[in-house]
A and B are shown apart, each in its own frame.
Chain A
Amino acid sequence: MLELKDLTFTAPEDDGAPARTIIDHVSYTFEKGLFYAVTGPNGSGKTTLAKLVMGILPAESGKILLDGTDITEFSISERSRAGIAYGFQNSARFKGTTFRDLLSIAAGTDDEEELVRIIARVGICSLDFLDKPVDAKLSGGEIKKIELATVIARNPRVAIYDEPDTGIDLWTIEPMVDLLKREQESFGTTTIVVSHNKTFLEAADRLLLIKGGKIAYEGKLPEADSLLADLSACNYTTICEGEDNAGCYR
């Protein structure tokens, strides 16, 4: 169970631009073992919220609790060891570091058989990826698959994927959703996926809509059906006020 209590993040003023509240007093409890889809317009604060949970950004006020333990003051590494994993929206590109390096750090072993087992479990990464450098030459889809594999290799209690489907080909979306569902069911992983993709939203047990740094809507899937009903136009303009067809949900 992951609890956010009155969580706030303000971007400091920068070169004349005034300080701006990005995450605005968010309180929410993610239940253990459920699959959450988080959507909302660009710039609404989804990534910021995820980074606050991972400790990449410091909360200005509020608390984060993981299974009752207050982790608000934990470093990134400590949160990772406590069972939180985050797949970045924009993955880091390295020089020299290979997929094998990342995977063995994530899994805590460089045993070949173990790494091959993880790749098989992930399914969507080819074995030939293993010795590829994770550098600027990787395609957008390739790096996303690597990012996702490193999260799974952590065997996290809470897995947060930030737009894992960006750049992923149509043939891989379904297997990716199936994989995350399988992980959720077999290991009771609390799964939080930030996405604008219908397939992910439909796979979720709960849907969250973030707008202006707040949770504007939360619902179980059957009730949230109307949110998904019309693909051509957004039914939630009144709540969301995002740009028309901004791509948050189409």
Chain B
Amino acid sequence: MLDAIDKELLRSVADLEGIPKGAYNIRKNGKLLGREVSANIEIDAHPDQEGIMVRIAPGTINESVHIPVILSQAGLHDVVYNTFIIGEGADVTIVAGCGIHCGGSKSEGHEGIHEFRVEKNARVRYVEKHVAIGPGKGKRILNPTTRVFMAENAWAEMELTQLGGVDEAFRVNEATLSAGSSLMISERVMTEGDQTASSENRLFLEGDGSRANMVSRSVLKGTSRQDLKVNLVAKARCFGHIECDAILMDRAINKTMPALEALHSDAELTHEASIGKIADDQLMKLMSLGLDYDDAVNRIIQAFLK
């Protein structure tokens, strides 16, 4: 049921060696390839749109759902709407991701619109990896959208990565936080050649005691370009922090725009941003430990994107 390319894609987007344990839904070239549910995790076709509804029963602890998407059909542009409802008090991990294998000259793309409803006191760790491989010349396009609605005291951590191979990406992350909820987004994007990636983030802190932290790290090689916008909007007594660092190599360019908006006088919002080459003192340190220049560069970048 899984061919060699499928297996390679699954390994790179979901660290899977074949079919995962627990609940899963694997989508290949716009069609369902396999699904498994568990006593606490239901997966159904989305009632209104192409995609799935994942319902996690309240109180579900330590379970995981894998929902990888793989694409290897030239010319296919797959659009999918997935909704996740994480019931009260649940504590789960969701592993998503999309792997494209492009073998020809036609473009291939995937647009995943993911909506999360994290109910009261629920906790979710969401891991999303995007990769593209294959010898084809066609453009590989990945446009993920993530919308998060966090109820009181909900907690979410989102690790979003795109580490190479993707020619065009338009990423959108939006979140609304109720009282006492906490959201951490860490985004890692590496572009090379003439790839472009843009990431737009809008986080609304609406409840007292809510916390949002967005950490973005980008590496840009070749003549690639990345644009990052992060808007933190505070409407309550809350904490928000943005940290974005971009490492430029070769002739790549970057635009980073962190923006803070306090619409409440007890909001505490901070940001740090940097764009630049790898610092010389970091390179010197690693070379003084015996690495060549190129190895030193690679080690610094690997650790930066980890």
Judge if B288 is at the interface, Cβ distance under 8 Å.
yes
A120→B287 CA distance, assembly (Å): 25
A-chain residues with CB within 8 Å of residue B306 when the two chains form the complex: 96
* Cβ contact within 8 Å between B288 and A56: yes
The residue from A86, A91, A97 contacting B303, defined by CB atoms under 8 A apart: A97
User: Inside 8 A of B299's CB, which chain A residues have their CB?
Assistant: 97, 101, 105
Instruction: List residues 78-108 of chain A with CB under 8 A from any CB of chain B.
Output: 80-81, 85-86, 88, 90-92, 94-98, 101-102, 105-106, 108
Check: B286 CB closer than 8 A to any chain A CB: yes
With an 8 A cutoff between CB atoms, is B292 at the interface?
A: yes
Is A91 a contact of B285 with CB atoms below 8 Å?
Answer: yes
Cross-chain contact of B290 among A56, A88, A94, A108 (Cβ < 8 A): A108
- Is B217 within 8 A of A80, CB to CB? no
User: What 1/0 mask marks residues of chain B from 284 to 306 whose CB sits below 8 Å from any chain A CB?
Assistant: 11111111110000011001111
Chain A: residues with Cβ within 8 Å of the partner, total of 25
Partner of B305, one of A80, A81, A88, A96: A96
Please give, as numbers and ranges, the residues of chain B lying within 8 Å of A90 by CB-CB distance.
Answer: 281
Identify A77's interface contact among B282, B290, B305, CB under 8 A: B290
Q: Are B303 and A106 in contact (CB under 8 A)?
A: no
- A150 to B: closest C-beta gap in Å: 6
Interface: B227 (CB within 8 A): no
Residues of B within 8 A of A77 (CB): 287, 290-293
Which residues of A sit under 8 angstroms from B304, Cβ to Cβ? 94-97
One of A81, A85, A95 near B217 (C-beta < 8 A): A95
Q: Which of A99-155 contact B (CB under 8 A)?
A: 101-102, 105-106, 108, 150, 154
Q: Is A240 interfacial (CB-CB < 8 Å)? A: no
Any B CB within 8 A of the CB of A75: yes
CB pair A56–B284 under 8 Å, yes or no, is yes
Q: Does A248 contact B (CB under 8 A)?
A: no
Kindly state whether residue A54 has any CB partner on chain B within 8 Å.
yes
Does A76 have its Cβ within 8 Å of any Cβ on chain B?
yes
B303 and A96 within 8 A (CB): yes
Which residue of the partner chain B has the closest CB to A108? Answer: B290
CA A108 – CA B284 in complex, angstroms? 17
Indicate the member of B281, B290, B300 with the most A CB atoms within 10 Å. Answer: B290
* In-complex Cβ contact of B288 among A86, A94, A96, A98 (8 A): A86
Contact A92 to B289, CB < 8 A, known contacts A97-B304, A101-B303, A105-B299: no
Give Cα distance in the complex from A195 to B245, angstroms. 35
Residue of B nearest to A105 (CB): B289
**CA gap between A102 and B279 in the complex, in Å:** 16
Counting contact residues on chain B (CB < 8 A from A), the size range is: 20 to 34
Of all chain A residues, the one with the shortest Cβ separation from B286 is A105
Q: Compute how far the CA of A2 lies from the CA of B304 in the bound complex, rounded to whole angstroms.
A: 36
Residue of A nearest to B279 (CB): A92
Of B279, B287, B289, B300, chain A has the most CB atoms within 10 Å of the CB of B289
Separation of A108 and B305 alpha carbons in the complex (Å): 22
User: A86 to B217, alpha carbons, bound, how many Å?
Assistant: 30
- Shortest distance between the CB of B5 and any CB in chain A (Å): 31
Instruction: Check A154–B303 contact: CB distance below 8 A.
Output: no
CB distance from A97 to the nearest CB of B (A): 4
- CB < 8 Å neighbour of A150 from B282, B289, B293: B289
Out of A80, A91, A94, which one reaches B289, CB within 8 Å? A80
Give bound CA distance, A105 to B295, whole Å.
10
Please give the distance in Å from A10's CB to the nearest CB on chain B. 20
Q: How far apart sit A96 and B299, CA to CA, in the bound complex (Å)? A: 10
User: Measured between alpha carbons, how far is A226 from B300 in the docked complex, in Å?
Assistant: 47
Cβ–Cβ < 8 Å partners of B279 in chain A = 92
Contacts of B281 in A (CB 8 A): 88, 90, 92
Q: Which residue of B lies closest to A90 (CB)?
A: B281
Taking a contact as CB atoms under 8 Å apart, the answer to whether A80 and B288 are in contact is: yes
Q: Is the CB of A97 within 8 A of B290?
A: no
Distance between A153 CB and nearest chain B CB, rounded to angstroms: 8
With A56-B284, A76-B284, A105-B286 in contact, do A94 and B291 touch (Cβ < 8 Å)? Answer: no
Nearest CB of A to B246, in Å: 11
B288 touches A76 (CB 8 A): yes
Residues of B within 8 A of A102 (CB): 285-286, 289
Which A residues are within 8 Å of any B CB, using their own CB? Answer: 54, 56, 75-77, 80-81, 85-86, 88, 90-92, 94-98, 101-102, 105-106, 108, 150, 154
24 A–B contacts, CB within 8 A, in A order:
A54-B288, A56-B288, A75-B287, A76-B287, A77-B291, A80-B290, A85-B288, A85-B289, A88-B281, A92-B279, A92-B282, A92-B284, A94-B304, A95-B217, A95-B245, A95-B304, A96-B217, A97-B300, A97-B303, A98-B303, A105-B290, A150-B289, A154-B289, A154-B290
Known: A88-B281, A91-B285. 12 other contacts (CB 8 A): A75-B293, A77-B287, A77-B290, A86-B288, A94-B304, A95-B245, A97-B304, A102-B285, A105-B290, A106-B289, A106-B290, A150-B289
Among all A-B residue pairs, the 4 with the closest Cβ atoms? A92-B281, A96-B303, A97-B303, A76-B287
